[in-house]
Amino acid sequence: MKRTVEKITLTAREKFVRQVFSTLGRAILFSVTSVAALAVLAIIFFIARDALPFFKNEGMREFFFNKSWYPTREPAQFGAMAIFTGSLLVTFFAVITAVPPGVFAAFCMSDILAFRVRQVLKPVIEMLAAIPSVTYGFFALVVLAPLLQNHGGMALAVAWWVLATPIMLVASLVMAELICGLRYKERAGFAVRAALTLIFAALSAVLLLRVGSKLSGLEVASGVNALNASIILAAMALPTIVSVSEDALQACGRELREGSYALGATRAETLIKVILPASASGIFSAVLLGVMRALGETMVVLMASGNAAQVPSPIYNLLQPVRTLTATIASEMGEADQMTGSSHYHVLFAMGLCLLIFSFLCNLAGEWIVNRQRRKLRGA
Amino acid sequence: MKKSILTAGLIIGSLTVNAEQKMVMDGSTTVGPIAKAFAEYYMRENPGVNISVSESGSGNGAKSLLNGNCDIANLSRDLKDSEQQAMKDKGVNPVKHVVAFDALPVIVHPSNRVKGLTIGQVRDIYSGKITNWKEVGGSDRKIVVVSRETNSGTFETFSELVMGKDARISSKTEYAGSNGAVRQRVQMTKGAIGYAGLGFVDRSVKALEINGVMPCVQCVLDKTYPLARELFMFTDGEPRKGSLAARFLALINTEKGCEIVEEIGYVPVNAAMRK
């Protein structure tokens, strides 16, 4: 009878072969991973290589502080200040339009709505992100621009009423409550409270009507302008903001919420005093992602912003056309003379480099804040 | 043995490549569509011919011809004196062939009361001196100025014929990416003014009289419409009879060639004869 002996030691040869395979496997995985990092470095390198000749030839001052963008005239002028302003203006207004509703929607979905409703709502909102940007641009050009042009003032006034009425109502209630709380430590009489609320409501009604009538008197000369682009960009940034901040709110976990309820907090107190601070970093990175989405978007601004290289006067006048960095690069790259290495060619790379640096800084800031928050939560 | 077959194959291969006729065209983006359509048609009719068309701008077309990098240079303007001098110094003899005529109608919204403008008024509108239609006899409405992107030949012609050397286009001007986009902006916007190629003007917009002349094929030909120009192809010396360039350029005067030009939206050279 033969006994099969199970071998538990490896021969030297087998050991060697296994080691080779292990090293090889690690090397392959490492190189695949580094391709991604190398791609980023290569992009930075090639853009910087074509951008630097511009700064060498024309200098920084003209680029950043001159408002005249005449790249094809003789002599050419490459003042990109108006274009930077346009990019920042459109991005800023898109983000401040998109962030409040985005964050509220995230709160609503994560803590207020029933789970079943959320399961339906979230994919629907995320579908906004799946719409190609040229479709948004088409909508801006064919629907929003004529609306702004033909019924611009009325549309703005209606939008103002719809948005501001509930905010004002809540604000006057809260104000009345606050004042009552300050004056009388005990519960104030119903009459005082009602009177105060009415006074605030009347004040806000006056404000609503005043601003509304002023807005409805506005004449919008051209429907493709900064406002149009901002609205569309806000719609495009919304799904990113909602989805990322909702994830951040979910990530806080059950324990935190239950702990808060166990201490006797209401749902509102839990949301505002516990969940919001705990997920602040996540919400902040959602906002940053929204900023980058709006800043980097090209097709929509090319179609909806009017592409006039001017600083609007006054600067918050969103009803004037503006030009953005991305749209300038996209529309002028075709003709900029590559062979002779003209300044016009290099200036577009300089703009690309600025966009790249900006999003790099955004990323860094986001990373830093998330890390700090993590350390704080750990209690260190 | 194997090697010699390979070399023989290579030699035969290179011979057939040489036998295939090649021609390179370079230059204006305005003439480019004509050159491309001609090349496409010519290559379909004559298999074995290879014509490549680059669009790097009129200036580069001239440079290309000067350096012998292309057989035909497409220009949407005549040669500058400096270019002519440079060619003379290098022993290049540029010969001009007119391929088509082009006009730039100035268009406004159909509801606009203004019938016509002078070149000076158009210049003042584009440079931002005139900002309201009532200043040129229209209703009290802000003017929305629309231009083609600065990279287009249409823009170049417009700035050359209207703006000239001194006036520059105001920074308040909106830019649209194509002739179609300009027309779309103008037909949608009550206060808008724009310009586009002759082929793009239809009933949805209103073309203005410039210096009292409506843009039309006839006025382009007799040069009464001021915003008109000729489009050129330049060769180094008169092309030899029977050469590819000569046969290609002959297309300009044929019925088919004119049809192609008309389709693209320019005025063909035989339009004068047909009238």
pLDDT tens digits, one per residue of A339-358 = 555 788 888 999 999 999 99
Would you state the pLDDT for residue A32?
93
Which domain does A339 fall in, by range?
61-131+222-379
Q: Do B189 and A307 touch (CB under 8 A)?
A: no
Q: Indicate if B94 and B116 belong to the same structural domain.
A: no
Task: With CB atoms and an 8 Å threshold, state whether B168 touches A73.
Answer: yes
Whether A2 maps to a domain, the answer reads: no
CA distance A313 to chain B (A): 11
Angle at which helices B179-188 and A145-183 cross, to 10°:
60
Residue B117, Ramachandran bin (φ over 0: left; ψ between -120 and 50: alpha; else beta): beta
Q: Do A149 and B189 touch (CB under 8 A)?
A: yes
Residue A161 lies in a domain: no
Inter-chain CB proximity A310 and B171 less than 8 Å: yes
Please give the Cα distance from A252 to A265 (Å, whole number): 17
Beta bridge partners of A69: A78
> Exposed, middle or buried, A362 (CB in 10 Å: 0-12/13-18/19+)?
middle
Which residue carries 């406004």 as its tokens?
B108
Contact between residue A299 and residue A264 where contact means Cβ atoms under 8 Å apart? no
* H or E segment and range at residue A195: helix A190-216
User: Who's near B8: CB < 8 A, 6+ residues apart?
Assistant: none
Tokens 């703006």: give the residue: B163
pLDDT at B7: 54
Residues in contact with B142: Cβ distance below 8 Å, sequence separation at least 6, in sequence order: A219, A221, B131, B132, B133, B191
Residue B184 domain boundaries: 105-214
- Residue A13, domain member (yes or no): no
Amino acid at site B139: S
Residues 6+ apart with CB under 8 A from B192: A222, B108, B109, B143, B144, B145, B146, B185, B186
Q: Find the mean pLDDT for residues A113-121.
A: 90
> Cβ(B234)–Cβ(B94) under 8 Å?
yes
Residues B173 and B205 in one domain: yes
Residue of A141, A332, A337 with shortest CB distance to B150: A332
Please check whether residue A97 lies inside any domain of the structure.
Answer: yes
Question: A193: buried, middle or exposed (CB in 10 Å: 19+, 13-18, 0-12)?
Answer: middle
Chain B residue with Cα closest to A77: B168
B183 at A interface, C-beta within 8 A: no
The confidence score (pLDDT) of residue B59 equals 76
Closest-CA distance, B77 to chain A, in angstroms, reads: 16
Contact A141, A224 (CB under 8 A): yes
Choose among A361, A329, A324: nearest CA to A230: A324
Mean pLDDT to the nearest integer, A119-142:
89
Is residue A53 in a domain? no
Is residue B34 situated within a structural domain? yes
Range in A93-102, A187-196, B161-170 with the lowest mean pLDDT: A187-196
Chain A residues close to B172, C-beta within 8 Å: 308, 310, 320-321
Q: What is the mean pLDDT of residues A33-39?
A: 93
Assess contact for B202 and B58: CB atoms under 8 A: no
- Model confidence, pTM: 0.77
**Domain-embedded: residue B4:** no
Tell whether B193 is within 8 A of chain A (Cβ).
no
- For chain B, say whether A75 makes contact (Cβ under 8 Å): no
Burial A245-281 (b: 16+ CB within 10 A, else e): bbebbbebeeeebeebeeeebeeeebbeebbeebbbb
**Could A149 and B188 be called an inter-chain contact, meaning their C-beta atoms sit closer than 8 Å?**
yes
How many domains does chain B contain in total?
A: 2
Residue A256 lies in a domain: yes
| Token duo for residue A79 | 């003042």
A169-to-A164, A187, A199, B15, B102 alpha-carbon distances in Å: 8, 22, 11, 86, 62
Q: Is residue A105's pLDDT more than 60?
A: yes
Q: Does A321 touch chain B (CB under 8 A)?
A: yes
Contacts of B233 (CB under 8 A, 6+ apart): B25, B31, B35, B72, B73, B74, B75, B97, B99, B249, B252
Q: Which residues of B touch A320 (CB under 8 A)?
A: 172
Cβ atoms within 10 A of the Cβ of A218, count? 14
| pLDDT of amino acid B17 | 45
Residues B92 and B115 in one domain: no
Among all residues of chain A, which has the CA nearest to that of B55? A335
For β-strands B209-210 and B192-195, DSSP reports them as: unpaired
Same domain assignment for residues B191 and B248 = no
Residue A242: pLDDT over 90 = yes
Determine, yes or no, domain membership for A282: yes
The CA distance from A37 to A1, in Å, is: 61
B84, containing H or E segment: helix B81-90
Q: Supply the CATH number for residue B77's domain.
A: 3.40.190.10
E strands, B191-244, in order: 192-195, 206-207, 209-210, 228-236
Kindly indicate the confidence band of residue A98, based on its pLDDT and cuts at 50, 70 and 90: very high
- Taking the CA atoms of chain B, what radius of gyration do you get in angstroms? 22
Residue of A nearest to B27 (CA): A335
Contact residues, chain A, for B151 at CB < 8 Å: 72, 331-332, 334-336
| pLDDT tens for the 275 residues of chain B, in order | 455 555 554 454 444 444 458 899 988 877 888 999 999 999 998 888 899 998 877 777 888 888 888 999 998 878 877 788 888 888 889 999 999 988 889 999 999 999 999 999 999 999 999 999 999 988 899 999 999 887 677 787 888 889 888 888 888 899 987 788 889 889 888 899 999 887 778 888 999 999 989 888 888 888 889 888 888 999 998 888 888 889 899 988 888 888 888 888 788 887 666 54
Q: What is the pLDDT of residues A147-172, one digit of tens each?
A: 888 888 888 888 888 888 888 888 88
Kindly state whether residue B236 falls inside one of the protein's structural domains: yes
Residue A200 has pLDDT above 50, yes or no: yes
The confidence score (pLDDT) of residue A379 equals 62
Give the residue, B9 or A142, on which the prediction is more confident: A142
What would the DSSP string read from start to end of A302-371? HHHSB------SSTT-TTS-B--HHHHHHHHTTTS-TTTT-HHHHHHHHHHHHHHHHHHHHHHHHHHHHH
pLDDT for residue A217 is more than 90:
no
**Which DSSP state fits B106?**
E
Asked, for residue B226, whether it belongs to a domain, the answer is: no
Q: What is the pLDDT of residues A41-67, one digit of tens each?
A: 999 999 999 898 888 888 888 888 888
CA-based nearest distance A60→chain B, Å: 21
What is the C-alpha to C-alpha distance for residues B99 and A313, in angstroms, rounded to an integer?
A: 46
A167 versus A187: the higher-pLDDT residue is A167
Residues B85 and B122 in one domain: no
pLDDT tens per residue, range A68-92? 888 877 778 888 899 999 999 999 9
Give the dihedral sign, CA A250/A256/A258/A263. Answer: negative
Which residues in chain B are contacts of A68 at CB distance < 8 A?
Answer: 171
C-alpha separations of A100 from A22, A172, A321 in Å: 51, 19, 25
Q: How far is B108 from chain A (nearest CA, A)?
A: 14
Instruction: Please count the structural domains in chain A.
Output: 1
Helices (H), A70-189: 81-107, 115-130, 133-139, 145-183
Q: What letter represents residue A365's amino acid?
A: A
Subunit contact A332:B151, Cβ cutoff 8 A: yes
